Structure 1
């Protein structure tokens, strides 16, 4: 019965509290370590000051989806710019979000120590970069080029071996 499964309360940065099955919440190594370190009868919510409400909802959605269906390891280096060719359709769609949300998911996955989610979100960023020129990458991520032409030429010369591979 679903009612018998232990639940864990999680509190977002904004103070919103979510209840999740222990199996789902403990996909996070951080939460798993916190739960193992306290008495099992604790009713207090675990504060997650670095995770916004909307992002916590997404993280729980990911963990819920994968609780009975562990994600496959993502091959590195990434084989394609089309993430759907590398991960499941559900995972590819899950990270098909605005850049700001994607980066917040990366930060949350790192903070919560959910390696499969961190790998997935980083693979999404890698797919956005793969095969692009430095100028295209700067434009994609709104990065200002602060190198002088001389510095840029020096960096290109020092790293020429990368382009030959």
Structure 2
């Protein structure tokens, strides 16, 4: 997956994550922040730790890679992610 635009996300503990925009907009919160022009240099996520943000990004990437997954496939993706939290 190669997107021409990337988004920088900044967690509450200061860690930054550079992700493709197509992945970032899977999160409605991030999508709205981009649409509202809050993505000048980076998008601050003051209520999200880097541990949680990395899991959210991992989920969004998997969702972009397999957009037509059924509920069972989605559970196969989510279960390992939830167990590592």
Structure 2 length normalisation: TM-score?
0.80
Specify every segment of 5 or more residues in structure 1 that has no aligned partner in the other structure, as ranges: 75-86, 102-165
d(CA) in 2 for partners of 1:39, 1:59: 19
Equivalent residue pairs, number: 82
- Residue 92, structure 1, aligned to residue 79, structure 2: yes
d(CA) in 1 for partners of 2:8, 2:42: 4
Residue equivalent to 1:60? 57
d(CA) in 2 for partners of 1:48, 1:39: 11
> How far off is 1:90 after superposition?
3.0
Higher strand share goes to which structure?
2
Call closer, same or farther: CA 1:37–1:11 in 2, change over 3 Å. Answer: same
d(CA) in 1 for partners of 2:35, 2:18: 17
> How far off is 1:29 after superposition?
0.8
Q: Map of 1:143-162 to 2, 5 A cutoff?
A: none
CA contact (8 A) 2:24 2:57 kept: yes
Higher helix share goes to which structure?
1
Call closer, same or farther: CA 1:10–1:39 in 2, change over 3 Å. Answer: closer
Structure 1 length normalisation: TM-score?
0.44
Other structure's SS at 2:18 match: strand
- Residue 13, structure 1, aligned to residue 12, structure 2: yes
CA contact (8 A) 2:59 2:77 kept: no
Call closer, same or farther: CA 1:28–1:90 in 2, change over 3 Å. Answer: closer
- Which is higher, the Rg of structure 1 or of structure 2? 1
Specify every segment of 5 or more residues in structure 2 that has no aligned partner in the other structure, as ranges: none
> How far off is 1:69 after superposition?
1.1
